[in-house]
Amino acid sequence: MAYGTSDAHGSHDHHPSGWKRWAYSTNHKDIGTMYLVLAAIGGLVGGLMSWLIRLELSQPGLQYITDLQFYNVLVSAHGLIMVFFFVMPALIGGFGNWIVPLMIGAPDMAFPRMNNISFWLTAGGLVLLLTAGFTAGGPGTGWTVYPPLSSNEYHPGPAVDLAILSLHVGGAGSILGAINFIVTIINMRAPGMTMHRMPLFVWATLVTAFLLVLAMPVLAGGLTMLLTDRNFGTTFFKVAGGGDPILWQHLFWFFGHPEVYIMIIPAFGIVSQIVSTFSRKPVFGYLGMAYAMAAIGVIGFVVWAHHMYSVGLDVNTRAYFVAATMVIAVPTGIKIFSWIATMWGGSIRFDTPMLWACGFIFLFVLGGVTGIQLANAGPDMAWHDTYYVVAHFHYVLSLGAVFGIFGGFYYWFGKMCGRQYSEAAGRVHFWLTFFGVNLLFFPQHFLGMAGMPRRIPDYPDAYSGWNMVSSLGAVVTIVGTLWFLWLVFRTFTAGEKAAANPWGPGATTLEWTVPSPAPFHTFEETPRIAPEPAH
Amino acid sequence: MFKRFAWIGAGAAALAPAGSGPALAAQPLPWQISFQPAASPVMEQIQWFHDFLFWIIVAIALFVLALMCYCAVKFNEKSNPTPSPTTHNTTLEVLWTAIPILILVAISVPSFRLLYFMDRTDKPEMTLKAVSHQWYWSYHYPDHGNLNFTSNMIQAEDLKPGQPRLLAVDNEVVLPVETNIRVLTTSEDVIHNWAVPAFGLKVETVPGRTNESWVRITKEGTYYGQCSELCGLNHGFMPIQVRAVSKQAFAQWTEEAKKKFAANLEPESVRVAQAR
Ligand SMILES: [Cu+2]
């Protein structure tokens, strides 16, 4: 083996066992595993909420959820949990922790203890949010928490305060984690791995970490203002005291728009690794790919008010946000075409991770082009706050980010647990999910075109047809998810022993040089990356 | 992809009101996949823009799909056992940066034209003010003797035949056709959104602010919309119903309405305080 990996020290020395191994863990792999478990819990809870919503919406009238506040709480908690406690812990905390140190040849993260507290803050955030859901009727504010609806007049009781604290705590965990990634990636790359030779997943994590460090504090500031408005008599967002509810929307979306890139850029990174591996080619236009992500990150900070076209912004302001938003299509296009160019001329194996990556590319394009439509403030008046928007952002997140998560999961599962999943079962999971989510979300474009508003528990009878189809899609997705849980169980109990590199010569990054499962300590001796001709 | 079937949807929409009388009734129809028929110049332009942009995005999506299918067939393990070492092609990279920019410029020209056209009308002939409450609307006609009234959703059990569930209201907004109407909105409590899809109108109602938009209704008929910003428990149950009538009929209606809602015509000071 070319690199120092599981060496003479043995791989299971010097660390606590039992519950202390996990609770006190400072090991990037264990913490990554805990993040993935947290994401699985978050994903199942958030998914369960969306299935309850789809159950209620499967036919007109109020059948299953007659408590309207509870419906609004489901809508709000589904959004918050999926964003903060499923997608982010899976992509950043989970794969980031597990894979980034392995990819750059570092023995661990730069600040292992901070890594531990990042995780437990995030877990605490989920507990607080679930507590909020069962307190004083729950926060029925939408994940956007717009005042005055979220103010103490319209949401008295501690539910919204608990939700705010949840985001504070989870956000603090994210900021600490992001600082850890930035420091690790900048300082702990193996000798020879220049910035321009880092795998794209590392680039993606670095860009994401910068977005987190810059965006999360703005959310925290806004949340604090909301908290003091609610409890200590300030009036930042209250008209009666000279405040302005629209100020919250600016603060929220200044965070909220970068947040969508925080969720999708790590998936970009994963898809880049997978496409390259399974095409047996290096990524096409590597530098363009890396800087496209950086560009998306930068532009992502100056487009926030495209979520607010109908709030009464000045027309010139809206015109600016239209222009800025459309610019994002350019680096995004570079990424899409570079992935295809990576496949072009390749020798492609369509194993399960590659299926998810290809699914990601096409469905992300569908969500991306409806994004171009929505970027236009004029016609957006027809789509704003309708199911068209719901379909759009579920295509980029539920079918984009989540496909990235599953792609990464199948790609690295063997490396993480030491056993290889069944290829046939993985493909069944992919096709069930692909069919299910498209059946679920594609008809929502039609509902949105016809004018169906978001976040309503009942709808005019004319919308019942496509809603029923959409709910059928949710049923297929549930079957796919159960299949996935069974697959994971089978892999742990009866999976074949995973090879160090199950993917062949296309897999060139460092994590494939260590055994599977990756030993507790890796790269105790720093690997040296041979100088390589330009990409 | 949805728009490919839009013609069917539009056809169905055109047929439906023909059967039910001369007036247009813009409300969603079963299995509808496209916009409700336009009843204002703004919505007509939104539809035009959508049709224009739709074919561009369909072309982009099909192009990507075709490329991926080609790769899957031509460059799979079996048909191409030896991968090419190519990782760069400057011409290609410049092209796939430059061509999207050109497409975006082509999109932005009509987009900006539409945006500025929609913003407000220079010559309003009358004003309608919509004020949101949890969970109903009130409407004010400042140019018609301070006429004002509240508008609540009709509960399912009280519906008369022909009134759509969750859309019909007790007191509808009545407006004249072929008139430039300034629409002002504000809110008494939380943020709501006054939306009528057939007019291409969607105006947030924000406490402490007055938002302005406009509409010129081109066809007589009844139009429906729903509150379009999450506003609490009954967010789904505060619809908007607009009946557009001839100018003559509108003048007649205002006189009748002033009698019907005479109790609402309080002294100026009270009214201003209420409308805030
Ligand atoms: Cu409302």
Q: Which helix (H) or strand (E) holds A10?
A: none
Pair of tokens at residue B133: 């409450």
For the segment B30-64, what is each residue's pLDDT rounded down to a tens digit?
999 999 999 999 999 999 999 999 999 999 999 99
Identify the CA nearest to A145 among candidates A165, A166, A164, A170. Answer: A164
Q: What is the distance of C-alpha B131 from the center of its chain?
A: 18
Same domain, yes or no: B85 and B217 = no
For the segment B151-178, what is each residue's pLDDT rounded down to a tens digit?
999 999 999 988 999 999 999 999 999 9
pLDDT of residue A524: 86
Residue B74: inside a domain, yes or no?
A: yes
pLDDT of residue A13: 55
Residue B29: inside a domain, yes or no?
A: no
**Helix, strand, or coil (residue B205):** strand
Q: Which amino acid is at B174?
A: V
For the segment B94-114, what is each residue's pLDDT rounded down to a tens digit?
999 999 999 999 999 999 999
CATH number for the domain including B161?
2.60.40.420
Give this complex's ipTM.
0.90
Residue B170: inside a domain, yes or no?
A: yes
Residue B195: inside a domain, yes or no?
A: yes
Ranges of chain A with pLDDT below 50? 1-12, 534-535
Q: Which residues in chain B are contacts of A286 at CB distance < 8 A?
A: 87
Residue B229: inside a domain, yes or no?
A: yes
Same domain, yes or no: B112 and B136 = no
pTM: 0.92
Concatenated DSSP letters for A415-479? HHHSEEPPHHHHHHHHHHHHHHHHHHHHHHHHHHHHTPBSS-SS--GGGHHHHHHHHHHHHHHHH
Same domain, yes or no: B150 and B262 = yes
Are A460 and B165 a contacting pair at CB < 8 A? yes
If one counts the domains in chain B, the total is 2
pLDDT of residue B26: 73
Question: B64 to each of A117, A266, A293, A337, A340, how far by Cα in Å?
Answer: 43, 22, 20, 8, 8
Residue A60 forms contact with B (CB below 8 Å): yes
Same domain, yes or no: B109 and B220 = no
SS3 content of chain A, % helix, strand, coil (to 5): 70, 0, 30
Same domain, yes or no: B138 and B114 = no
Q: Which residues in chain B are contacts of A347 at CB distance < 8 A?
A: 75-77, 80-83
Interface test with A, best of B54, B78, B133, B191 (most A CBs within 10 A): B191
pLDDT of residue A135: 86
Same domain, yes or no: B53 and B177 = no
Q: Which helix (H) or strand (E) holds B243?
A: strand B240-245
Same domain, yes or no: B164 and B255 = yes
Q: Is the pLDDT of residue B2 over 70?
A: no
Q: Which residue has the higher pLDDT, B128 or A535?
A: B128
* Dist. CA B156 → ligand 1 center (Å): 19
CATH number for the domain including B108?
1.10.287.90
Q: Which of residues 86-105 of B touch A (CB under 8 A)?
A: 86-89, 92-93, 96-97, 100-101, 104
Same domain, yes or no: B268 and B192 = yes
Q: Which of residues 172-231 of B touch A (CB under 8 A)?
A: 189-191, 193, 195, 197, 200-204, 206-209, 211-212, 224-231
Are A286 and B87 a contacting pair at CB < 8 A? yes
**What is the average pLDDT score of chain B?**
88
Q: Which of residues 426-455 of A touch B (CB under 8 A)?
A: 442, 445-446, 449-455
Pair of tokens at residue A383: 């789509």
Same domain, yes or no: B216 and B266 = yes
Q: Which residue has the higher pLDDT, A135 or B92?
A: B92
pLDDT of residue B7: 39
State which of B19-28, B214-223, B261-270 shows the largest mean pLDDT.
B214-223
Question: Are A439 and A129 a contacting pair, CB within 8 Å?
Answer: no
**Percentage of residues in chain B having pLDDT higher than 90:** 80
Same domain, yes or no: B76 and B183 = no
* Dist. CA A144 → ligand 1 center (Å): 16
Binned at pLDDT 50, 70 and 90, residue B272 comes out as low
pLDDT of residue A14: 64
Out of B28, B111, B191, name the one closest to residue A149 (CB): B191
Instruction: For residue A25, give how far its alpha carbon lies from the nearest alpha carbon of chain B (Å).
Output: 41
Q: Is the pLDDT of residue B75 over 80?
A: yes
d(CA B26, CA A423): 51
For the segment A228-242, what is each residue's pLDDT rounded down to a tens digit?
999 999 999 999 999
Q: Is the pLDDT of residue B10 over 50?
A: no
Q: What angle do CA A168, A171, A173 make, to 5 degrees?
A: 115
Q: Which domain holds residue B253?
A: 126-275
DSSP state of A512: G
Residue B255: inside a domain, yes or no?
A: yes
**Helix, strand, or coil (residue B202):** strand
Residue B213: inside a domain, yes or no?
A: yes
Residue B136: inside a domain, yes or no?
A: yes
SS3 content of chain B, % helix, strand, coil (to 5): 40, 20, 35
d(CA B207, CA A18): 56
- Where is the domain boundary, B71, B98, B119? B119
Pair of tokens at residue A403: 């496909």
Same domain, yes or no: B214 and B269 = yes
- Where is the domain boundary, B119, B140, B162? B119
Instruction: For residue B251, give how far its alpha carbon lies from the nearest alpha carbon of chain A (Å).
Output: 30
Q: Is the pLDDT of residue B268 over 80?
A: no
Identify the CA nearest to A303 among candidates A237, A372, A354, A369. Answer: A372
Residue A462 forms contact with B (CB below 8 Å): yes
**Parallel, antiparallel, or unpaired for β B136-141 and B126-133?**
antiparallel
Same domain, yes or no: B104 and B179 = no
CB atoms within 10 A of CB A23: 11
Average the pLDDT over each of A446-460, A505-519, B9-23, B121-135 and give the range with the smallest value.
B9-23
Instruction: For residue B44, give how far its alpha carbon lies from the nearest alpha carbon of chain A (Å).
Output: 10
- Where is the domain boundary, B119, B134, B167? B119
